[in-house]
């Protein structure tokens, strides 16, 4: 990241959380949210494969609370 961007980030981090949320949303909106077509296709295929695995009994869904704990708990 460029020095001006780092300076802006440092200043933004001093803002209250509510203002940082608004700023983050506005920045995200400015870059658009369209993924390249091949990325969209790849995610759609991944979702189909995961659903097929669940339906076939090869995979079992995990409740969010458990998944969150596995992901964010450091041991």
**Count of other CB atoms within 10 angstroms of residue 24:** 11
Q: What is the pLDDT of residues 61-73, one digit of tens each?
A: 999 999 999 998 8
Q: Are residues 29 and 46 in the same domain?
A: no
Q: Are residues 1 and 14 in the same domain?
A: yes
Q: What is the pLDDT of residues 20-75, one digit of tens each?
A: 999 999 998 888 767 788 888 999 999 999 999 999 999 999 999 999 999 988 75
Q: Are residues 29 and 41 in the same domain?
A: no
CA dihedral 39, 58, 51, 55 (to 10 degrees): 160
Q: Give the residue numbers spanning the domain of 50.
A: 37-72
**The model scores a pTM over 0.95:** no
Q: Are residues 25 and 47 in the same domain?
A: no
Q: Are residues 26 and 45 in the same domain?
A: no
Number of domain units in the chain: 2
């Amino acid at each position: 990241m460029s020095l001006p961007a780092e300076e802006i980030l440092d200043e933004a981090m001093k803002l209250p959380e509510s203002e940082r949320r608004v700023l983050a949303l506005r920045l995200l909106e400015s870059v658009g949210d369209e993924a390249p077509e091949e990325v969209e296709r790849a995610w759609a295929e991944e979702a189909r494969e995961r659903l097929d695995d669940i339906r076939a009994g090869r995979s079992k869904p995990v409740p969010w609370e458990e998944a969150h704990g596995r992901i964010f708990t450091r041991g």
